[in-house]
Structure 1
Amino acid sequence: MIRFCKSLFVLMGLLSGITCAHAETPIVTWPDGWEVEAIPQDDAKPQVSRQRAVKSDQGGTPVMVMELTVTPVESGHQVNLQGVLLEMRKSVQKDFFQGGYQSVCNKIHPATLSRLSALETTCTITQNGRHVLSQTLVAAVDGDKAYVFSYAGQAEAYKASLDEIEVARNSLKL
């Protein structure tokens, strides 16, 4: 049971200077065994690019999700990346709370995404004191584009998939 929260969509609302140009599609090398999902283009936001891969267990139940979202930023607009990631983290926590879960997120800290300086946070989601899910949000800005790389999954699958996630993350060509 993976509830991929609305947090990725918070980015679009927080980047107030969105342009109408189409974002170039970045290249991601998804891990073997992960199913790449076709994400329909949102006619209301055609400039936003989204790519997603899902890892399922032997029974076909999704246990992990990775997603890359690219949003164009208007020329000259200064993105408050710390503020964007903080709002996304709040959204994750609120969504899980409404679903009956508790969440604790680590401090937003510096990271990298491809060749870019980024900020990152990871949330641990529990239910009745038991760790059930984890979600990591990584955000970066490069000139006229903002990137969010997010991955979430069941606690055991998340831990077991960290090497695959790292390979996919390092493969990014932004």
Structure 2
Amino acid sequence: MIESLRTQAVAVLLLMFAGVVQAQPEVAWPEGWTVEPVPVQEADQAAQVSRQRAVKNDAAGNPQLVMELTMTQVERGHVVNLQGVLLEMRKSVQKDFARSGYQSVCNKIHAAQLSRLDALETTCTITQNGRHVLSQTLVAALDEDKAYVLSYAGQAAAYADSQDQILAVRNSLKL
């Protein structure tokens, strides 16, 4: 009898909180990539943010490409200016590279796809002493009460050589 009541109580609690628990996006990382844990920040917990990251290393174990998917819960009724958010992110990327002695040029924000969602995208080419050394792409999309950002960056050659894998990840996302 007590066991039955416990089972019913647990079932009721699960039903009550089913709407509160946020499903994590599913990412099919390419074979050979290393999935890295992303430390949870206190601000992330408060804002209901989840992050997933994977790294493609060379034969010596040096990172060549990093991809990260971030999902943020959006308050009901809040209107997100996706273009404005992406502009701010792009500025931040450019400032960070400039502080490290790199120059960067980013293309115009344009329409794109992220899984099944319409998205906006921009890619930055990072140079040092006139030589292309890194590339970084930012893709942002909205879906009802969630915002997604997929960011990937890497050494120029690895970035170019990994386009098929990157596209496969983008297309296979379950958001």
Normalised to the residue count of structure 2, the TM-score between the two structures is 0.86
Change beyond 3 A, Cα 1:152–1:22: farther
CA deviation profile, 1:72-117 (whole Å, cap 9, x unmatched): 0000100000000000000000000000000000000000111111
Work out whether 1:154 is the aligned partner of 2:155: yes
- Contact 2:44–2:50 (CA<8 Å) still a contact in 1? no
What RMSD over aligned residues (CA atoms) do the two structures have, in Å?
Answer: 1.0
Instruction: State the partner residue of 2:139.
Output: 138
- Contact 1:50–1:69 (CA<8 Å) still a contact in 2? yes
- Contact 2:66–2:154 (CA<8 Å) still a contact in 1? yes
Instruction: State the partner residue of 2:105.
Output: 104
| Unpaired segments ≥5 residues, structure 2 | 1-19
CA deviation profile, 1:124-156 (whole Å, cap 9, x unmatched): 000000000000000001111000001100000
| Secondary structure of residue in 2 paired with 1:44 | helix
Once the two structures are TM-superposed, the CA of residue 44 in structure 1 deviates from its matched residue by: 3.0
- Contact 2:140–2:147 (CA<8 Å) still a contact in 1? yes
- Contact 2:125–2:132 (CA<8 Å) still a contact in 1? yes
The structure 1 segments of at least 4 consecutive aligned residues displaced by more than 6 Å after TM superposition are none
Write the distance in 2 (CA, Å) between the matches of 1:165 and 1:105.
Answer: 19
Write the distance in 1 (CA, Å) between the matches of 2:32 and 2:81.
Answer: 36
Instruction: State the partner residue of 1:24.
Output: 23
| Secondary structure of residue in 1 paired with 2:170 | helix
Normalised to the residue count of structure 1, the TM-score between the two structures is 0.86
Amino acid in the other structure paired with 1:104: V
The structure whose residues are more often helix, as a share, is: 2
Once the two structures are TM-superposed, the CA of residue 41 in structure 1 deviates from its matched residue by: 2.0
Aligned length: 154
- Contact 2:56–2:65 (CA<8 Å) still a contact in 1? yes
Instruction: State the partner residue of 2:77.
Output: 76
Instruction: State the partner residue of 2:124.
Output: 123
Write the distance in 2 (CA, Å) between the matches of 1:152 and 1:71.
Answer: 20
Write the distance in 2 (CA, Å) between the matches of 1:86 and 1:136.
Answer: 12
- Contact 2:37–2:52 (CA<8 Å) still a contact in 1? yes
Once the two structures are TM-superposed, the CA of residue 42 in structure 1 deviates from its matched residue by: 1.8
| Secondary structure of residue in 2 paired with 1:90 | helix
| Secondary structure of residue in 1 paired with 2:44 | coil
| Secondary structure of residue in 2 paired with 1:152 | strand
